[in-house]
Structure 1
Amino acid sequence: MSISTSASRPATDIPFSRESLEQVLKRRFFFAPAFDIYGGVSGLYDYGPPGCAFQANVVDTWRKHFVLEEDMLEVDCTMLTPHDVLKTSGHVDKFADWMCKDLKTGEIFRADHLVEEVLEARLKGDRAARGIEEKVEEEDEDKKKRKKKVKEVKNIKLADEVVAEYENVLAQIDGYSGEQLGQLILKYEINNPATGGKLEPPVEFNLMFETAIGPSGAIRGFLRPETAQGQFLNFAKLLEFNNEKMPFASASIGKSFRNEIAPRAGLLRVREFLMAEIEHFVDPNDKSHPKFKDVQDIKLRFLPKDVQESGSTQVVEKSVGEAVSSGMVDNQTLGYFLARVYQFLIKVGVDTDRLRFRQHMGNEMAHYASDCWDAELQTSYGWIECVGCADRSAYDLSVHAARTNASLVVRQPLPEPITVENYEVDIDKKKFGPKFKKDGGAIQKWLGSRSQCELEDYSKELADKGKIEINVKGVENTVELTSEYLKIAKVKRTEHIREFTPNVIEPSFGIGRILYSIFEHQYWARPGDADRGVLSLPPLVAPTKVLLVPLSNSADLQPIVTKVSAYLRKQQIPFKVDDSSASIGKRYARNDELGTPFGITIDFDSIKDESVTLRERDSTKQVRGSFEDVVAAIKEITYTGTTWAEGTSKLTPFESQSTDA
């Protein structure tokens, strides 16, 4: 799948510089720290005009690639979420990272990042002691400050087994619990890198922003940490809207919030960010996908959990079909979405050589998930999770249904009636009501929400002991139920309807992380000139598609400039006019770093025959033709994926000595 105009990019002798890229991004106001003139707040950023346009184009591509092509149902749910919703989903208790505090200074560290940075610094010292040359990369100011804290690490050669042990730990750093991180800190004698001060054992820090809803403050709430819960809570409405047909998917694009312990790395770790999430609801007994054959031959670079657990990060390249048939990827629908995620990322500008799919290890996977893969993009900060793709089983719908007694199930007519035998609770209401009075309703609701396994256990206990003892939320004391008040037994029934709770396949996209990774993947400098940066964004997502450049400020050129501008506007192609006094080369150069893929030069010949010159950003190749034909070529290359050679086949090659001077 092509991600550019397919006019060859020249090889460059200038190594990638993150510092140069970030200077361009900030100077051209792709994004900037929020509240900058007040000193800023870490983890909060504002997008400027090109950043806004780039993000909007990526989101528009996402919406067409998934919502339109997959017939998804898009919803837009509130960002304010009541406490009870996130308590039920598990976020109140479990949505946390591990932090540790310096006992003397009170300085706070995120535990996994601290272990990672200290061990990497020691390995770097070992490589230096062994005389192994390392590639030096530019670093942002935050990372430079952190590195200064561990600069005391001397170039000491480590034992081979210690090096292997460190590398093993780093390969599994995402999977350690708080207790395990604490053990690593003790084992490797990791202290405050700046002061050498001892650290407290890691403790959990909940990442949600808490707030009060309403003036009384009585309704406790949070800013949502994800968009998923709104989709789960609206499942019944979505199913009805979809005419009760399964499977189907919902989608949501919106802001989410996480109170990160130590935000760093620009857009890669922030406290407010844009997410795009899909919830694909599927029959738990049939996770095949009707379009799987369309993607089964796509090859992906996988990092399976067993490879990571062995201490290696060597990827395995195989087709999606092979990954599913071998059981490495749990099912067809999950495999289908991994392939579709890959296709989307390539379409918006991700480098295929710096993309891998890493499987969650057993100790980092949610207890309810049957499989989970992260699309990770390699940047100068390392491998960054940008998309999570998980099979969440029926967990979310089940817990919300149990908490609210809402019907979040699918009911489908069976082709033939079936006889089923299930445990049921039979209450003697004449005795039960007078006995338990106001607590009776809560007890009955509790019994009605028990699983078949639980009811089987209670049935045996009731038969053996003549009673069961239960604890019901809202009922003050332990409730004792004897066979006088209820019976629990298997009952045979003929059913004409199958009722089930769907499983959910969830691809979840961090848009800001994807944007920044694309910046790194597509930024380069012209050969021999480190100051001439180029941002090779695919035309489809580039903020501006065309730079319109009059050869001079002559009044004679204005009518044709106006005419071409009106035509571009009518064709709905985003463009900018640069009629400044700078040379054409400089005007093109400053728009190359904005990612503008095409330039139209208007000269004095344009007055005679309305012909113009079309320049391609990466190769600086030029062709000439009527402005209508040039605009048609731009539209075809930008919006249909046509190559430069195909799109400009009707235009005449043009040589110029000055446009890029």
Structure 2
Amino acid sequence: QIFNELFKTIIGPYAEHAGYCRPETAQGMFVNFKRLYDFARGRLPFGAAQVGRCLRNEISPRQGPIRLREFTIMEFEFFFNPKNSECVKLREVEGEKIRLLTEGLIRRRVEEPVEVTVNEALDKGYIKAEWNAYFMARAKQFLNELGVPDENQYFREKLPSERAHYSAQTYDQVVKLSRWGYVEVSGHAWRTDYDLRMHMAYSGEDLRVYLPYAKPKRVKRKRLKLNKVELGKAFKDKASLILRLLELTPAEEVAEALTSEGVYRLRGNGETYEIKPSHVSVAEEEIEEKGERILPSVVEPSFGLDRMLYVTLEYAYSEKEERVVLKLPKDLAPIEAAVFPLMTKDGLPERAREIHQNLLSQGFNVEYDEGGSIGRRYARMDEAGTPYTITIDYQTIEDGTVTLRDRDTWKQVRVKTEKLPQILRSLLKGEMGFERAGVLL
């Protein structure tokens, strides 16, 4: 049974004004492509990113935040010239190893991914677009930073029958979870120029970009001659759409398909239409050109924020001596440090509050806590994922040093109060190892 995952709703008071809740954020970026291209100062390549809520009418929502009807998605549309598709940043990741379960492996029923470098993946044709390979490598590194090791993540290629209609190639990034097994957390689709082409066909707005030549040149170009009568007979009410789509299709592409296969398969509106020699003919002419108009190609890294949060929390969760320690990445921890007076007397709380206020004034997210024993306070902050705790004791009154404690190792060092902000900032940025922060206790 065919089931539409789009949520249908009524716009305004009239039932005939139907609308659909967005299943992705991408289309807003395609609709506004001309404005975005202007913001990019008329240059390719460039990217646009958006974070937002989406809705899909899932048949069976389950597995907590893994499968939801309402969720948050992070999408990046990267536009580049298909005639100059070289990724200028590829050198940064060309040696990065990624694990791929390719279409070929899946068809041979192989379950173990192959590990290759980004360069090898491109040379062997596992990944078709350089920019897609670049963003896949960055996505793998991103998961590493969230605590997921290489062996617990890989990219699975979607089979043609599984791919969305707009995609020429899609890889899903999957992560191993203790309860749910391997779960998709991001998708990496090469959407070609499909979306811009469809918006042009339906709106009549020219979304092509003009690329001037260094100097005019005479070139031979193929041109399509459309047989509107035959197209009308063959496609009836869809003929006008197909006419617009053919006007946007390179004549060389159509000519090659007609010569080699006797038919050109035109994609549009989620369907495929067979264009035959009776529908079109190809003529060649010589013209002078000062530039050319092209539709940019697009790669799209898309991340599920809810699933990413779940993954981060699972890989951060640990237990030590029957206590929970949430080893969140330091730049994600909501509380960066906590300040404790060892005792609630003898001027220790007053000095602790001074240090707390000083750290707040310098932009740190810092908590103050004087309730319960010092061990109980350490345990509370470990469970909250706070990377560092600062204890003010009687030695602080004597020599101006404090005890700085590391969440992950429970090691402690003595640090001079005046150096505390600088040391804390270096630790949070990963610029300094903990044992170099002060005198180890």
Match of 1:520 in 2: 314
Unaligned runs of 5+ in 2: 230-237, 259-280
Q: Counterpart of 1:205 in 2: which secondary structure?
A: coil
Q: Write the distance in 2 (CA, Å) between the matches of 1:426 and 1:508.
A: 38
Match of 2:76 in 1: 278
| Identity between Structure 1 and Structure 2 (%) | 34
Q: Write the distance in 1 (CA, Å) between the matches of 2:128 and 2:52.
A: 29
Q: Write the distance in 2 (CA, Å) between the matches of 1:413 and 1:609.
A: 70
From 403, 415, 438, give the equivalent of 1:613: 403
In structure 2, relative to structure 1, the CA distance for the partners of 1:222 and 1:631 (3 Å cut) is: same
Q: Write the distance in 1 (CA, Å) between the matches of 2:283 and 2:70.
A: 52
Q: Write the distance in 2 (CA, Å) between the matches of 1:456 and 1:327.
A: 24
1:637 equivalent to 2:436? Answer no
From 156, 168, 183, give the equivalent of 1:384: 183
Match of 2:132 in 1: 334
Q: Write the distance in 2 (CA, Å) between the matches of 1:611 and 1:632.
A: 14
Q: Counterpart of 1:625 in 2: which secondary structure?
A: strand
Work out which structure has the larger RCO, using CA pairs closer than 8 Å and 6 or more positions apart in sequence.
Answer: 1
1:277, CA displacement in angstroms?
Answer: 0.6
Q: Write the distance in 1 (CA, Å) between the matches of 2:116 and 2:47.
A: 27
Match of 1:364 in 2: 162
1:512, CA displacement in angstroms?
Answer: 1.0
Q: Counterpart of 2:104 in 1: which secondary structure?
A: helix
Q: Write the distance in 2 (CA, Å) between the matches of 1:390 and 1:606.
A: 57
More displaced stretch, 328-337 vs 490-499: 490-499
TM-score by length of 2: 0.85
In structure 2, relative to structure 1, the CA distance for the partners of 1:445 and 1:373 (3 Å cut) is: closer
Q: Write the distance in 1 (CA, Å) between the matches of 2:120 and 2:240.
A: 49
In structure 2, relative to structure 1, the CA distance for the partners of 1:511 and 1:584 (3 Å cut) is: same
Asked if 1 retains the 8 angstrom alpha-carbon contact of 2:324 and 2:382, the reply is: yes
1:493, CA displacement in angstroms?
Answer: 2.8
More displaced stretch, 245-254 vs 203-212: 203-212
Give CA deviations for 1:264-316 in whole Å, capped at 9, x if unaligned: 11111112211111101111122211111111011112222222222222121
In the alignment, residue 43 of structure 2 is paired with which amino acid?
A: K
Give CA deviations for 1:506-532 in whole Å, capped at 9, x if unaligned: 0001011011112222211114x2xx1
Q: Write the distance in 2 (CA, Å) between the matches of 1:240 and 1:402.
A: 21
Q: Write the distance in 1 (CA, Å) between the matches of 2:224 and 2:341.
A: 81
1:214, CA displacement in angstroms?
Answer: 2.6
More displaced stretch, 541-550 vs 340-349: 340-349
Q: Counterpart of 1:333 in 2: which secondary structure?
A: helix
Q: Write the distance in 1 (CA, Å) between the matches of 2:147 and 2:253.
A: 54
Superposed counterparts of 1:536-575, under 5 Å: 536-554=327-345, 556-575=347-366
1:533 equivalent to 2:320? Answer no
Give CA deviations for 1:481-501 in whole Å, capped at 9, x if unaligned: xxxxxx995554322121111
Asked if 2 retains the 8 angstrom alpha-carbon contact of 1:348 and 1:540, the reply is: no
Asked if 2 retains the 8 angstrom alpha-carbon contact of 1:289 and 1:333, the reply is: yes
Match of 1:295 in 2: 93
Asked if 2 retains the 8 angstrom alpha-carbon contact of 1:624 and 1:630, the reply is: no
1:215, CA displacement in angstroms?
Answer: 3.4
In the alignment, residue 212 of structure 2 is paired with which amino acid?
A: P
Q: Write the distance in 1 (CA, Å) between the matches of 2:90 and 2:417.
A: 43
Superposed counterparts of 1:107-506, under 5 Å: 203-380=1-178, 381-416=180-215, 417-423=217-223, 447-450=243-246, 451=249, 490-506=284-300
Q: Write the distance in 2 (CA, Å) between the matches of 1:301 and 1:574.
A: 37
Asked if 2 retains the 8 angstrom alpha-carbon contact of 1:548 and 1:601, the reply is: yes
In the alignment, residue 526 of structure 1 is paired with which amino acid?
A: K
Match of 2:368 in 1: 577
Q: Counterpart of 1:533 in 2: which secondary structure?
A: strand
In the alignment, residue 374 of structure 2 is paired with which amino acid?
A: I
Asked if 2 retains the 8 angstrom alpha-carbon contact of 1:548 and 1:576, the reply is: yes
In structure 2, relative to structure 1, the CA distance for the partners of 1:515 and 1:502 (3 Å cut) is: same
Give CA deviations for 1:5-48 in whole Å, capped at 9, x if unaligned: xxxxxxxxxxxxxxxxxxxxxxxxxxxxxxxxxxxxxxxxxxxx
Q: Write the distance in 1 (CA, Å) between the matches of 2:253 and 2:308.
A: 48
Unaligned runs of 5+ in 1: 1-202, 433-441, 461-486, 655-661
Q: Write the distance in 2 (CA, Å) between the matches of 1:549 and 1:353.
A: 39
Bigger strand share: 2
TM-score by length of 1: 0.58
Asked if 1 retains the 8 angstrom alpha-carbon contact of 2:174 and 2:186, the reply is: yes
RMSD between aligned residues: 3.0
